[in-house]
Amino acid sequence: MAQSPAPITWNSRLTFILAATGSAVGLGNIWKFPYITGENGGGAFVLVYLACILLIGIPVMIAEIMAGRAGRTDPAHSMAALARESKATPAWGLIGGLGMLAGLMIMMFYSVVAGWALDYVWQSITGGYGDSAESIEAHFNTLLSSDSQQLLWHTLFAAITAAVVAAGVTRGIGRAVDILMPTLLLFMVMLVVYAFVKGDFAAGMHFMFDADFSKLSGEAILVAMGHAFFTLSLGMGAIMAYGAYFPGHASIGKTVLAIAAMDTVIALMAGAAMFPLVFANDLTPGQGPGLMFVTLPIAFSQIEGGAFFGSIFFILVSIAALSSSISLIEPGVAWMEKRGLKRPIATLMLAGVAWVGGYFSIHYGAVFNALDYITANIMLPLGGLFIALFVGWVMPAQRTLYESGMAGGPAYRSWRFVLRYIAPIGILVVFINSFL
């Protein structure tokens, strides 16, 4: 976001919604959700994920917005200031620091995957990935084995992200989301319809929604919870940083429900588009990160005008990734700016570090996997746990009541209860359960 909090005007709620939705909706929905659902056996995993969105994600998102709006600066300084105000240790500001690090680490693989999407824009136009399931699979493997190709696209994506953040026009990108989201939704509907007609839709639905909890490992539950944080951009201060734009009179609760609903619908539609194609084409649901890049091109290669639709679709995915990647480095840049660095220099430094990390993710699959695993499944839930404890237990109740704009009714009370007890205990139980 811009360097200083926006003045509270009639459109600041809209600005916030666009920026936060832009941050939330991204590769997590379209690329990651379907592939981890495939890897973790479907149904039961999806239900645990939805429960985590509801019981942990939504209350924590409300808490992040509150802290951001109350603190009015980057997450680290906001939390330290609010802690002091509540007579607690300013060491709480370290949670903001952990978040900046997590954002940078996510960027190190996110930018690589966004690079794959850029490659697919080009491949869609030129028909480069072929038109059979086999040739499309082979194309993806070729891309993965070409480090130079991946590096090229990763560099381009990281450079575009850096250019936008350096210029401080992130609010302008928020506006782009205005057009992006409805168009993306339209494409998802189109793909689901295609999967309904041409895919094995029944098999896809059974896979996504038939729940067999006996097969669900503690590890799978951890991944589901981690993804709830990842997909809503929680636990690292991205939404907190945007919270400064939130006007005092608007209800945080309704806004958060709208953002979470949008994010969830897009993820579920992505799954509903891909799994029927998986089963109709004898692909494996658990094939991993290539799932989107193998299933959707099958649809694009078979429909009339598929080259056009395919390239537009991957452009949309790339823009969705951009509005998310901006929020990955913005908190760090805002923090460095507050410490006296010029915005372009701060951006260049952070994007440079992320670029180097991306270089290693491309060359070593283990680095890619470790960055993804550690951030989503450990750092974000841990950050979310501390944010829940901070807003639920450290910030005075009157302060959160005032900030919530919820007038102290049952909505406010149930939110505070879930934030203080259910969310932290839930996170801890999932952590402990996965270690056993």
CA 329 – CA 177 distance, rounded (Å): 18
Burial of 97 (0-12, 13-18, 19+ CB in 10 A): middle
382 binds ligand PFF (CB under 6 A): no
29 binds Na ion (CB under 5 A): yes
24 binds ligand PFF (CB under 6 A): yes
CA 68 – CA 218 distance, rounded (Å): 33
Q: How far is CA 35 from CA 125, 366, 382, 387, in A?
A: 25, 17, 24, 29
Buried/exposed code over 267-276 (b: 16+ C-beta within 10 A; e: otherwise): bbbbbbbbbb
**Residues within window 237-276 making contact with ligand PFF, judged by CB under 6 A:** 238
231 binds Na ion (CB under 5 A): yes
Nearest distance from residue 408's CB to Na ion, in Å? 31
Nearest distance from residue 269's CB to ligand PFF, in Å? 14
**Whether 77 contacts 96, CB under 8 Å:** yes
> Considering CB distances under 5 to 8 angstroms, the limit depending on partner class, which of ligand PFF, Na ion, none binds residue 285?
none
> Considering CB distances under 5 to 8 angstroms, the limit depending on partner class, which of Na ion, ligand PFF, none binds residue 296?
none
Angle, alpha carbons 422-66-248 (nearest 5°): 135
Nearest distance from residue 86's CB to Na ion, in Å? 31
Closest residue to ligand PFF, judged by C-beta, is: 28
27 binds ligand PFF (CB under 6 A): yes
Choice between 355 and 412, CB closer to ligand PFF: 355
- Among positions 1, 20, 24, 83, the unique one binding Na ion when judged by CB under 5 A: 24
Binding footprint of Na ion, residue count (CB under 5 A): 5
375 binds Na ion (CB under 5 A): no
- Among positions 108, 328, 382, 395, the unique one binding ligand PFF when judged by CB under 6 A: 328
- Among positions 111, 123, 170, 231, the unique one binding ligand PFF when judged by CB under 6 A: 231
Name the region of 127 (left: φ>0; alpha: ψ -120 to 50; beta: rest). Answer: left
Q: How far is CA 409 from CA 246, 405, 414, in A?
A: 21, 10, 9
CA 69 – CA 255 distance, rounded (Å): 14
Name 10's Cβ contacts closer than 8 Å, sequence gap at least 6.
none
> Considering CB distances under 5 to 8 angstroms, the limit depending on partner class, which of ligand PFF, Na ion, none binds residue 23?
ligand PFF
Nearest distance from residue 26's CB to Na ion, in Å? 5
* Biggest distance spanned by C-alpha atoms of the chain: 64
> Considering CB distances under 5 to 8 angstroms, the limit depending on partner class, which of ligand PFF, Na ion, none binds residue 236?
ligand PFF
**Whether 28 contacts 95, CB under 8 Å:** no
Choice between 82 and 268, CB closer to Na ion: 268
> Considering CB distances under 5 to 8 angstroms, the limit depending on partner class, which of Na ion, ligand PFF, none binds residue 297?
none
Choice between 301 and 375, CB closer to ligand PFF: 375
- Among positions 106, 133, 188, 266, the unique one binding ligand PFF when judged by CB under 6 A: 106
12 binds ligand PFF (CB under 6 A): no
158 binds ligand PFF (CB under 6 A): no
- Among positions 26, 59, 285, 383, the unique one binding ligand PFF when judged by CB under 6 A: 26
**Whether 205 contacts 273, CB under 8 Å:** no
Choice between 79 and 322, CB closer to Na ion: 322
Dihedral, 147, 148, 152, 158 alpha carbons, nearest 10 = 40
CA 329 – CA 162 distance, rounded (Å): 9
Closest residue to Na ion, judged by C-beta, is: 231
CA 170 – CA 174 distance, rounded (Å): 6
CA 116 – CA 144 distance, rounded (Å): 9
21 binds ligand PFF (CB under 6 A): no
Q: Could you tell me how many residues make up the chain?
A: 436
**Binding residues for Na ion, per CB under 5 A?**
24, 28-29, 231, 263
**Binding residues for ligand PFF, per CB under 6 A?**
23-24, 26-29, 103, 106, 230-231, 233, 236, 238, 324, 327-328
